[in-house]
Amino acid sequence: MDLSRGDSGDAVALLCNTLTRLGLLSSSHSEFDGDVEAAVKAFQQERGLSVTGIANALTLRVLEEARWKLGDRTLLYTPSKMLRGDDVAALQTRLIEMGFNCGRVDGIFGALTENALKDFQKSVGVKVDGSCGPSTLLSMMRLMKIVSGGAPLQLRDEAARAVKGPALANKVIVLDPRSKESAQTSTLLFDIALRLESRLIALGVAVFMTRSADATPSSPTLEDRIQVANKSAADLVISFDCDSYPNENAEGVATYYYGSDAHGIHSVVGERFANLVQREISARTDLFDCRSHAKTWDLLRLTKAPIVKIDLGYESHPGDMRRLADSTFRETIVESLMVAIQRLYLSAENDAKTGTLKISDLRRAGIRR
């Protein structure tokens, strides 16, 4: 159940206690008042969540994860119910800084984290059991004093992108057009995905769609969409959506990528692609530029490949919806995306100014078809 201003009871007391321990509330509160709402907003902003001041299920889950510090509990891989928390994220960060590949810093103790931890345990001569208890943590703390950390995971992501080269042929891209309550919006988002799919396939890209044209708003689920992306071994995932707001004033295009200021991590490739998409669409259309943002939404957090979520306007803004309903406008969106995709894989010397490349120009930059 969501908690908001005016609520009280045990759930609110637990919420306030957690916010106080995190240093976001300075005194005890028995009711969800303005101070609590401000603290919830501050936490949501810090954690890359939607800033609403309402403690919904996602906010409460992330709050529960935030209360764990490394050393509070023994960390180990339990496939049936994987451990989540800031302590797991701290462990993953330390492993990566020492050169042990545990994948993305997502605060979830999965198989990759267990394997990286075992590799660390082997290297320092402690019991190799894949669990982070006192002896493993002590060895890690001692080693951290003499190891200067870097960003090997980010470097690996950039290197993998560069190695695959500028040609789109043989790359795998997953398109995720969101199914909405509004049938018209769902159809328009799916049409953009179809247009983009046809152009990508013509260039030799393997394309997967997360839904069919007739999907209902509740199908596929978020878990289904993430599973499609992860099972496809994608090089890139592009999610299409439209935002909404209680009044008609909110408008424009925004892009989102995985990142967490709290954990000091972000998707290098995701951020670059989000910025490219944002700039290309803003340069080629009259949509208001709402910029790119790092978020920790599950869609971005749990998708293994670089992923960008694009909000192509607001359903609540008549002007944005009129634009989206125009087939010429949707074609411009597709061209913007095609150019942004190619620019993602181009080397700096072959890149061009935002809004100047055309699809026909890209053949000279390395497309094999």
Which pLDDT score is estimated for 108?
94
Please give the CATH number for the structural domain made up of 10-66: 1.10.101.10
Q: Reply yes or no: is the peptide bond before residue 134 cis, omega within 30 of 0.
A: no
Whether the pLDDT of residue 362 is over 70: the answer is: no
- The whole-number average pLDDT for the span 54-62 is 95
Most confident of 44-48, 128-132, 346-350, 353-357: 128-132
Tell me the average pLDDT of the chain.
88
Q: Do residues 192 and 240 make contact, with C-beta atoms less than 8 angstroms apart?
A: yes
Asked if the domains 10-66 and 86-150 are classified in one and the same CATH topology, the answer is: yes
Assess whether pLDDT exceeds 50 at residue 369: no
> What does the pLDDT read at residue 164?
58
Strands 307-314 and 236-243: parallel
Domain positions in the chain: 10-66, 86-150, 160-365
Q: What share of the chain is helix, strand, coil (3-state, %, to 5)?
A: 45, 15, 40
**Contacts of 207 by beta carbon, 8 Å cutoff, 6+ apart:** 172, 173, 174, 175, 197, 200, 201
Give the total residue count for the chain: 369
Measure the CA–CA gap between 178 and 215, rounded to whole angstroms.
9
Residue 256 has pLDDT above 50, yes or no: yes
pLDDT of 67 strictly over 80:
yes
Q: How confident is the model at residue 13 (pLDDT cuts 50, 70, 90)?
A: very high
Burial class (CB in 10 A: 0-12, 13-18, 19+), 255: buried
Say which residue, 368 or 91, is predicted with more confidence. 91
In CATH terms, 86-150 corresponds, of 3.30.360.10, 3.40.50.12500, 1.10.101.10, 3.10.180.10, to 1.10.101.10
Please state which of the four CATH numbers 3.40.630.40, 3.90.1150.10, 3.40.1190.20, 3.40.50.300 is assigned to the domain occupying 160-365: 3.40.630.40
Query: Is the pLDDT assigned to residue 190 strictly greater than 50?
Result: yes
